[in-house]
């Protein structure tokens, strides 16, 4: 079946530090890959997505590249801000096996200190 | 546009009590989903619906029932609540069943079962 594995958290960084959150996946088909972000007390919202191999998703300074050869979709940001403190979820949907249904990773709590 | 709304926001139940969580969306989306979020486990799909009058089981359906009598509403019922159902519940919707489509999430319902 499909699965998503994220790096264990929590992650604590100082403002302006470089961020990487690792995500690897297992899927039987050709999945679309997503990063969702959950700010404190809120629901999830889409941060970025990539729908085929070698695509790069980007938004708000965050980037992730769909790497089929390493089955990875690592999230990066060059300079984090306090406002980036949130929980980040990697997810996939696989048209062949599950359509639009999402399979989520465990989530990574990011705290950015001033 | 309110997007996806959920009621109530918080609820405390005693073991054996029943309740219904309401999800409403104003985006004319076909697909709707119910997830539960537990610490360290990401989000897990409970039930979903591919259109008005349809429902299907997700990953963790036991102990829950759902109904989609109107396209804009998706109800999640707990007939006899158990402490294991203490969780945060999120509703989501998407335009179609394509794996490319973003899911839009509500703000969540925090349920405690004593």
User: Is residue A104 pLDDT above 90, yes or no?
Assistant: yes
* Nearest Cα residue in chain A from B40: A106
Decide if B100 and A4 are in contact by the 8 Å CB cutoff: no
Chain B residue numbers with beta carbons less than 8 Å from the beta carbon of A89 are 42-43
Say yes or no to pLDDT of A14 above 80: yes
- Give yes or no for residue B38 having a pLDDT over 80: yes
Pairing of strands A56-59, A62-65: antiparallel
Q: Which residue is closest to A31 within chain B, CA to CA?
A: B99
Q: Do A106 and B100 lie within an 8 Å CB cutoff?
A: no
Tell me if B13 sits within 8 A of B112, measured CB to CB: yes
First to last CA, chain A: 41
Neighboring chain B residues of A104 at a CB cutoff of 8 Å: 42-44
Q: What is the pLDDT of residue B101?
A: 81
The residues, any chain, with a CB within 8 Å of residue B75's CB and separated by 6 or more, are B20, B21, B22, B23, B66, B67, B68, B69
Say yes or no to pLDDT of A97 above 70: no
Please write the tens of the pLDDT for every residue from A66-84.
Answer: 999 999 999 999 999 999 9
CB contact under 8 A, A43 and B48: no
Q: Judge whether residue A8 has pLDDT over 90.
A: no
Other residues' Cβ atoms within 10 Å of the Cβ of residue B86:
16
**Alpha carbon of B14: minimum distance to chain A alpha carbons (Å):** 24
SS3 for B58?
A: coil
CB-CB: which of A4, A46, A100 is closest to B98?
A100
**Whole-number pLDDT of residue B2:** 82
Which residues on chain B are in Cβ contact (under 8 Å) with A44? 43, 90, 92, 105
pLDDT at residue A25 tops 80: yes
| A41: chain B residues, CB-CB within 8 Å | 107
């Amino acid at each position: 079946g499909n699965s998503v594995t994220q790096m264990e958290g929590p992650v604590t960084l100082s403002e302006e530090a470089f961020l990487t959150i690792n995500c690897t996946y297992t899927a039987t088909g050709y999945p679309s890959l997503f990063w969702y972000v959950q700010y404190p007390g809120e629901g999830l919202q889409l941060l970025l997505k990539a729908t085929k191999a070698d695509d790069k998703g980007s938004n708000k300074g965050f980037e992730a590249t769909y790497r089929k050869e390493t089955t990875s979709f690592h999230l990066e940001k060059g300079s984090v801000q306090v406002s980036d403190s949130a929980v980040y979820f990697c997810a996939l949907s696989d048209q062949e096996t599950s359509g639009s249904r999402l399979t989520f990773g465990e989530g990574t709590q990011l705290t950015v200190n001033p | 546009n309110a997007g996806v709304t959920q009621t109530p926001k918080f609820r405390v139940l005693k073991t054996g009590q029943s309740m219904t969580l309401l999800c409403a969306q104003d985006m004319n989306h076909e697909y709707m989903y119910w997830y539960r979020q537990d610490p360290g486990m990401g989000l897990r799909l409970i039930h979903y619906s591919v259109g008005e009058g349809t429902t299907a089981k997700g990953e963790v359906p036991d102990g829950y029932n759902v109904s989609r009598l109107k396209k804009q509403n998706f109800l999640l019922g707990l007939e006899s609540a158990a402490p294991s159902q203490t969780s945060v519940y999120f509703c989501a919707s998407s335009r179609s069943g394509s794996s490319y489509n973003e899911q839009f999430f509500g703000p969540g319902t925090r349920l405690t079962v004593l």
